């Protein structure tokens, strides 16, 4: 099992798995290639790198930098054809009631929308997702089965 920390991007090959803990408003993004059983995961914190206070930040922190990095590594380093890549996502929760009425919308919703936009830009199908609600999630992607398990306190386990 390969642990993916906050704002990190990591990759795994069969039979390895990728796991990230404590997704609240953050989004766990998995881009994978079913035929070669290779996957990359990013723990995305924020929607847009324009929000950065400096030019020094991890590429996994923002949706608009994480998705391009995942795609580049999957296609150039691992040699996966772009048109065969697929994606699954989880997270994007609204953890605090006070932020639900913000004029720009919640950070969780904005993160999910930014991830979807980036996936659309690359024409990568989003084949499954569990996003929103008001609870955190821990996710693990298994390269061997291409399944994403989602654990949530008081909600149990689901598989997408």
Q: Which residues are catalytic?
A: 26
Contact 95, 107 (CB under 8 A): no
**What is the rounded CA–CA span in Å between residue 134 and residue 143?**
28
Nearest to 128 by CA among 80, 97, 160, 96: 160
Cα distances (Å, whole numbers) of residue 87 to 62, 82, 110, 156 = 17, 12, 18, 23
Nearest to 61 by CA among 50, 72, 77, 75: 50
């Amino acid at each position: 099992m390969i642990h993916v920390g906050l704002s990190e991007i990591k990759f795994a090959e069969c039979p390895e798995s990728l796991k990230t803990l404590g997704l609240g408003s953050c989004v766990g993004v998995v881009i994978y290639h079913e035929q070669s059983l290779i996957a990359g995961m990013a723990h995305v914190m924020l929607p847009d790198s324009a929000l950065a206070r400096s030019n020094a930040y991890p590429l996994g922190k923002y949706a608009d930098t994480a998705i391009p990095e995942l795609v580049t590594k999957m296609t150039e380093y691992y040699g996966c054809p772009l048109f065969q890549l697929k994606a699954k996502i989880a997270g994007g929760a609204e953890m605090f009631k006070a932020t639900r009425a913000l004029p720009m919308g919640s950070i969780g919703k904005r993160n999910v929308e930014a991830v979807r936009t980036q996936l659309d830009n690359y024409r990568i199908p989003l084949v499954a997702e569990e996003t929103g609600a008001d609870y955190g999630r821990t996710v693990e992607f298994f390269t061997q089965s291409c399944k994403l398990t989602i654990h949530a306190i008081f909600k149990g386990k689901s598989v997408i």
